[in-house]
Every structure is written in C-alpha cells, then in structure tokens.
Amino acid sequence: MTKVFGYEQKMLLHIQKFLSDNQGKLDFLKARLREFENERNEAREWGPSYFESPINKYLLNKRLTVDWQRVENLMAASTGEKPLTRLRKFRNRETMPDRKELEGAIDGILRLQYVYRLKAKDLARGILDGVDYSTHLSSEHCVDIARLALRDQHPRLAHSWLIEANDRLTGGEKEEQLKPQILALLVQAKKELEDFRGLKDTYQELIGIQSASEEHARNYETFLNALGERALLNESKPVLEHAPIPEEGEQVGEFQAYSLTCSGHWRLTPKEQRHLRCGYVTETHPFLWIAPLKAEELFQDPLLVLYHDVIYQSEIDVIRKLTKNRLMRATITSHNESVVSNVRTSQITFIPVTAHKVLSTIDQRVADMTNLNMKYAEDHQFANYGIGGHYGQHMDWFYQTTLSDVAQGGGTAFPQLRTLLKPKKYAAAFWHNLHASGVGDVRTQHGACPIIAGSKWVQNRWIREIDQSDRRPCELWDDSLATYAQILELNKQNEAKAASR
C-alpha cells in the first residue's frame, strides 16, 4: 500500500502540472482576447479611415496570420475541441490573409520608408510623414519588419528597425526571447554596412547573453581573424538610416531618382518654373469658347499639362459601378508573358467605350483637351492603388484622370523632368511620349509613387498615334526643343509673315 500511496502522490503532481499548464494557457488566451478586443474597438472608433494607415494594415494582417495561429495551436493542445473547430473554420476561409499578404504589408511599409525617407522610430509610433495615426508597434513587430528588410537587401532600413526594436524592449520573458534575435540580426546588418566597430560590440553583447552558443563564439573568432587591424578601431561608424541625398550632377540609379522625385527632394528651381503658365484653353474645339478648360503647365518641353475639374462626381459614381468586382492584380510584361511583380502593385480593369455612354462622353472631352483622334484609343483602363501601391518607372502616351483624393503620397514622378504630379480629384494630366517623328521621348519616363495613406483611383486613356496625321503631323525630326504649343506659335508667326509680304 505504501508503494501505491507513492504513486498517488505522483498522480497528484501530474494533476497540479496539468492545472498549472492550462492556467498559463488561460492567462495567455485572456491577454490575447483583451489585446484583440482593444485593437478592434480602436478600429471601430476610427471607422474606415483606420485602414488608411499602412501600420494598421500590417497589424491586422499580423493578427489574422501569426497571432491567431498561436491561439489555434494553444487551443489544439487543450480540451476545447468544439471552439477550436469553429476557430479553424473561420481561419481557413479564402478571404483570410495568408503569409504572403503579411509580407506584402511589411513590404509596403519598407517601400514607404525608403521612398519618402521616413524614420523607423516615427513609423513605430504610427507617425507617417508628419501625420499621427495613434498606432504603436511592439518590439516583436519591429523585428518582423527588420527580418524582411534584411532578406530583401535593405540593411540600412533593417538596422533602423532593429535599433527601434531594442529600444522598445520592456524586460521580462519577452525580452529574454527577443534580445538574442535582435542582436543576431544586428550582426548581419552591421556586417553588410561595414560598421566593424559596431559589429564587434554587438558580437560581444550577443556572446555575453548567450555564452553557451558555440556558433556565436565561432563566428566571432572568424570575424576577428578576417578583420585584422580594423578590429582595433575605437569608434563605431554612424549608420545612417537613409543614404545621403546626392549632390547635383552626381550619378544616381533609376529607382533612386524615382524615389527622390516622389519625396520632393528632386524638383525644379523657382528659376526653372518661372516660364510655366496657367490659363484657359479654347483653341482645340469651338465648344471650348463657351466652356473653356482650366489648364496648368507643369513642364514645357516635353509638354506636361494638368487640366482641372474635367470630370464630374456623377460620372465617377457610374465608373465605380462599372468597375465593381472587376478589378484584378496588375501585371507587367516579362519575356513575352504577363507576370505579377513588385514593380507594379495595383488592381486594374479594362472597359470598352461602348459599355456606357459616360465613357464616350469622357472620350469626347479628352479629344477636346488634346486635339487628338480617339478612334483608335485603347479601352478605358481603371486602376486602384492601395496603401504602399505603386508602379515603377515606365513610358506610355498618356491621358490620366484622378477619380479620388489621396490622403498622403500617390503622386506621379517624372525623374528626368524633376517634376512630381500630385493627385487631385477631378483633374486630368496629359503628355506625349512620342516626338513628332514617332520616336519615343524617354524624358517622359514616369512612375506612380507609393500611397502613404488612403487610396488612389485613376482612369487612364492610351491614345494611339494611328490616324493623327491631321492633328499632329508626323515630322522627319524630333521636336525635343519645341513643344506642341511652340510649334503652333511658330506656324502662326510664319503665316503672319507670309500674309504681310
């Protein structure tokens, strides 16, 4: 009996452990429940505008993928089979985000940070380009973003997020878990940035908290041997969050030029802008004598014009109905096939002009504005850019109408012209991407800047050069030194001279 009595003691210990384990699970689930409810209540208070912040978009994706997976795993180890089944039913629905969408949300944050030269410290506090969205990221969130930044070859951005993650550690069990991860990733970032003194200090700190790690010690020894005399450096090289803005005349890459234009660091000087004009256009169609168009020159050579108030809200409402449930992820052409790419992150659809009389009305208005024949224009394209949405540099002969206002970001950058076309509802922009000779004008290369907050709807019209000979005659020369307006003026002067003889 004494032996059996001893077995019972062990059984009691097992029960205590079971209760203790389940109490820990209950405490964890209660904490997650409070956290999720608080975040949902905050979203309800903000309304639809809550999801205009890329930080909030990331947090929702994180919650619906990683955080809910932890809850499911914990419930799977408990006796709650019925609620677990119900939970899995919801999580397995097609509309729920997956890992790919979570990474897409992080990629959007990194793109905004790079293009607009934002600080990780501000982003972690929910401050986007000076606007406070009252959302905060935890140390764990910062580590997630840094890890993806390193994977995608952005060591500067990764370094800034890791420093912020370290600053946000609050002690306790979570710090014990995250601190080694932060330091290990910092080692990788500093190595790529060649911050050797900082790398040495980080290695020493990492070995200090994980002294039993043979891998860290071995890597540190290899690092010291490879570094040689540079290991004796007394000062750590400051790591800038963003590369310095290039000096005038300095060679820059294509994407860097695009980013500098989007962020406003590349722009025309007041001296270069002094010849640009605003006014009313009446010459291209007799009807415009009654209802002239409001036009603003953004560049003269090549001609880039912004027309104001050229589409009505009633027409936009019709367009929204036409495009409902028809949008799909935009692709680019690569090796003679259409592929989804991070170069273009938007949703688009094409609708023929015959689909609704509003579209033919808009085409007539475009013809009045541009003095071009719309007969061979392509189908109307409608595009929606969400948070972080952008389209890298490309070229086309273009007419673009903005169907919505954008809270922050979302301009169209012309790097070679150092011009940023900011989105404005009801406005339309027009430019030629061909010289009068039919040769492409590379100066009109442009790209859609990322959306910081909000959403951008645009309508695009690609107007073919076919059947334009009576509107824009083909020449044997490139009109690189003369705009369309200047050509008209020159023709008038020649006619006046001929008449005076």
Q: Which range is least confidently modeled, 91-105, 115-129, 241-255, 267-281?
A: 91-105
Instruction: For residues 230 and 297, state if they share a domain.
Output: no
pLDDT of residue 276: 93
pLDDT band at 19 (very low <50, low <70, confident <90, very high): low
pLDDT of residue 344: 44
Residue 231 has pLDDT above 80, yes or no: no
Region 176-196: mean pLDDT is: 88
Q: CATH number of the domain that 474 lies in?
A: 2.60.120.620
Q: Where is the domain boundary, 193, 227, 244?
A: 244
Q: Which of 390, 391, 398 shows the shortest CA–CA distance to 366?
A: 398
- pLDDT, mean over the chain: 79
Region 105-127: mean pLDDT is: 92
For residue 338, the cross-strand partners are 333
pLDDT of residue 166: 92
Region 493-497: mean pLDDT is: 61
pLDDT of residue 481: 47
pLDDT of residue 3: 53
Instruction: For residues 337 and 468, state if they share a domain.
Output: yes
Q: Select the more confidently predicted residue: 75 or 155.
A: 155
245 three-class SS:
coil
What is the distance between the alpha carbons of residues 453 and 53, in angstroms, rounded to a whole number?
Answer: 5
pLDDT of residue 240: 86
Q: Which range is least confidently modeled, 132-136, 155-159, 488-492?
A: 488-492
pLDDT band at 347 (very low <50, low <70, confident <90, very high): confident
pLDDT of residue 77: 66
Region 363-373: mean pLDDT is: 89
Q: Which of 266, 298, 271, 308 shows the shortest CA–CA distance to 427?
A: 308
Residue 420 has pLDDT above 50, yes or no: yes
Instruction: For residues 369 and 435, state if they share a domain.
Output: yes
In total, how many domains does the chain have? 2
- 122's tokens: 């501000």
Q: Select the more confidently predicted residue: 234 or 316.
A: 316
Range of the domain at 149: 119-244
Residue 45 has pLDDT above 90, yes or no: no
CB 200 within 8 A of CB 170: no
Identify whether 95 is part of a domain.
Answer: no
Q: Select the more confidently predicted residue: 405 or 42.
A: 42
What is the distance between the alpha carbons of residues 276 and 300, in angstroms, rounded to a whole number?
Answer: 7
Alpha helices in 228-377 (DSSP H): 254-262, 270-273, 313-323, 357-370
Identify whether 80 is part of a domain.
Answer: no
CB 258 within 8 A of CB 415: yes
Instruction: For residues 422 and 290, state if they share a domain.
Output: yes
Instruction: For residues 163 and 279, state if they share a domain.
Output: no
49 three-class SS:
helix
Residue 13 has pLDDT above 70, yes or no: no
Instruction: For residues 354 and 469, state if they share a domain.
Output: yes
Residue 340 has pLDDT above 50, yes or no: no
Instruction: For residues 429 and 369, state if they share a domain.
Output: yes
Query: For residue 161, how many C-alpha atoms fall within 13 Å in the half-sphere facing its CB?
Result: 27
% of the chain residues with pLDDT over 70: 74
Q: Where is the domain boundary, 244, 264, 296?
A: 244
Instruction: For residues 302 and 422, state if they share a domain.
Output: yes
Identify whether 130 is part of a domain.
Answer: yes
Place of tokens 């570094």: 227
Query: For residue 76, how many C-alpha atoms fall within 13 Å in the half-sphere facing its CB?
Result: 7
Instruction: For residues 376 and 276, state if they share a domain.
Output: yes
Q: CATH number of the domain that 206 lies in?
A: 1.25.40.10
What is the distance between the alpha carbons of residues 304 and 499, in angstroms, rounded to a whole number?
Answer: 32
Instruction: For residues 386 and 438, state if they share a domain.
Output: yes
- What distance separates the 2 farthest-apart alpha carbons in the chain? 133
pLDDT of residue 1: 45
CB 62 within 8 A of CB 102: yes
Residue 63 has pLDDT above 50, yes or no: yes
Whole-angstrom CA distances from 365 to 318, 358, 415 are 17, 11, 29
Region 405-432: mean pLDDT is: 88
Whole-angstrom CA distances from 458 to 179, 394, 464 are 45, 16, 19
pLDDT of residue 26: 80
Region 375-389: mean pLDDT is: 78
Plot region of 240 (φ>0 → left; ψ -120 to 50 → alpha; else → beta):
beta
Q: Select the more confidently predicted residue: 138 or 435.
A: 138
Instruction: For residues 386 and 239, state if they share a domain.
Output: no
Alpha helices in 347-404 (DSSP H): 357-370
What is the distance between the alpha carbons of residues 124 and 114, in angstroms, rounded to a whole number?
Answer: 15
pLDDT band at 495 (very low <50, low <70, confident <90, very high): low
Residue 424 has pLDDT above 80, yes or no: yes
Instruction: For residues 336 and 200, state if they share a domain.
Output: no
Q: If you average pLDDT over each of 11-25, 192-206, 327-341, which comes out highest? A: 192-206
Q: Select the more confidently predicted residue: 53 or 259.
A: 259
Identify whether 68 is part of a domain.
Answer: no
pLDDT of residue 482: 47
Cα-based angle 166, 171, 172 (whole degrees, multiple of 5): 135
What is the distance between the alpha carbons of residues 145 and 120, in angstroms, rounded to a whole number?
Answer: 10
CB 112 within 8 A of CB 67: no
Q: Select the more confidently predicted residue: 42 or 402.
A: 42
Region 481-494: mean pLDDT is: 54
Q: Which range is least confidently modeled, 84-98, 128-142, 318-332?
A: 84-98
Residue 398 has pLDDT above 80, yes or no: no
For residue 430, the cross-strand partners are 305, 399
Q: Select the more confidently predicted residue: 173 or 254.
A: 254
Region 424-443: mean pLDDT is: 85
Identify whether 72 is part of a domain.
Answer: no
Residue 355 has pLDDT above 70, yes or no: yes
pLDDT of residue 83: 55
pLDDT of residue 362: 93
Place of tokens 């290991």: 231
Identify whether 7 is part of a domain.
Answer: no
Identify whether 56 is part of a domain.
Answer: no
CB 112 within 8 A of CB 449: no
Identify whether 376 is part of a domain.
Answer: yes
pLDDT of residue 339: 41
Q: What is the CA radius of gyration of the chain?
A: 30
